[in-house]
Amino acid sequence: ALRINESDLRDFTFSTSGFLKGEKLAAMVNQQVDGKKIEQLSRRFGAVVTDLDSGARVVLKSGDTGTAVRASAAIPNVFQPVTINGRRYVDGGLTSPVPVIAAREMGADIVIAVDISAKPTGKSALGFLSLLDQSLNIMSQAALTQELKQANVTLRPRVLHIGSADFDERGAAMLEGEKVAREGLPVIRQAIERWATARSAAK
């Protein structure tokens, strides 16, 4: 992640549906997975997206990996919607801010959620991206609450001061994530032990 530059991901376009195409993002992802499709990956993977026309949450579990990731990251009005099999998809965070339910549906026994959403602060959002971030966070609060209820453990890195497009702070964000994960290890171990005990009792 630290080797990626903004220019590696930004492909501007003149469009009313978004000023970034997202094709560079898809290409980078496919390069990282050696061109493997989702169903060929060594670990089970699903990209959570939002159907732009129906508003439904959808989990893409097959097909082109880069295109699926591109769709799951397609923030409305920033990235263009991604068309897959005739359906238009955008950022899955609109309907599933932290995809705990999707992980459960895919068979996860223990879910460790990472919540980096910002709660409304009462302060004025300045700038286009800040306003967009705050708008999306407000819209997703109810869905976020429902998702987190189904997680075994929720980690909350302190990264609210870092914007979604702030590449200069990515190193700090990664270090904070590692720190919170280490701090959360005792709780994670307890969750695993509880699950193992319940599983043994059910046999």
Q: Is the dihedral of CA 161, 164, 170, 174 positive or negative?
A: positive
Looking at residue 181, what is its pLDDT?
A: 97
Looking at residue 12, what is its pLDDT?
A: 82
Residues in the chain, total: 203
To the nearest whole number, what is the mean pLDDT of the chain?
87
Looking at residue 77, what is its pLDDT?
A: 81
* 76, 91 Cβ separation under 8 angstroms: yes
Looking at residue 13, what is its pLDDT?
A: 80
Q: Cα separation of 10 and 181, whole Å?
A: 30
Residue-wise pLDDT for 134-180, tens only, equals 666 666 777 888 999 999 999 999 987 776 667 678 889 899 999 99
Looking at residue 167, what is its pLDDT?
A: 67
Is pLDDT at 192 greater than 70 in this prediction? yes
- Structure tokens, 57: 């949450």
Looking at residue 123, what is its pLDDT?
A: 54
More confident of the two residues 14 and 197: 197
Looking at residue 92, what is its pLDDT?
A: 94
Q: Cα separation of 139 and 152, whole Å?
A: 24
The region that residue 127 occupies, defined by phi over 0 for left and psi between -120 and 50 for alpha, beta otherwise, is: left
Of 88, 86, 100, give the one whose Cα is nearest residue 22: 88
Residue-wise pLDDT for 93-126, tens only, equals 989 999 999 999 999 999 999 998 765 555 555 5
